[in-house]
Amino acid sequence: MTRQPLVARRAEELLGSSVVATAPVAGGDIATATRLRLSDGTTALMKTLPHAPADFFAEEAAGLRWLAEATDRGGAHVPDVLGVDHECVIVRWVEPGKSNVDAAAALGRELATTHAAGAPSFGLDRDGFIGRLPLPNRPTDTWAEFYAVRRVLPYLKLARDRGAVTPEEAATIEALVPRLPGLVPEEPPARLHGDLWNGNVIWGLDGHAWLIDPASYGGHREADLAMLALFGLPHLPRVLDAYTETAPLAEGWEDRAALHQIFPLLVHACHFGGGYGARAAELAGRYA
Residue 274, classified by CB atoms within 10 Å of its CB into exposed (0-12), middle (13-18) or buried (19+), is exposed
**Active-site residue list:** 195
> Which CA distances in Å does 209 have to 44, 85, 107, 200, 253?
17, 27, 6, 10, 24
DSSP the chain: -B--HHHHHHHHHHHSS-EEEEEEES--SSSEEEEEEETTS-EEEEEE-TTPPTTHHHHHHHHHHHHHHHHTTT--B-PPEEEEETTEEEEE---B----HHHHHHHHHHHHHHHHT--SSBB-SS-EEETTEEE----BSSHHHHIIIIIIHHHHHHHHHTTSS-HHHHHHHHHHGGGHHHHS---PPEEE-S---GGGEEEBTTS-EEE-S---EEE-HHHHHHHHHHS--TTHHHHHHHHHHHSPPPTTHHHHHHHHHHHHHHHHHHHH-TTHHHHHHHHHHTT-
Give 84's strand partners: 89
Residue 255, classified by CB atoms within 10 Å of its CB into exposed (0-12), middle (13-18) or buried (19+), is exposed
List CB contacts of 251: < 8 A, sequence separation 6 or more.
none
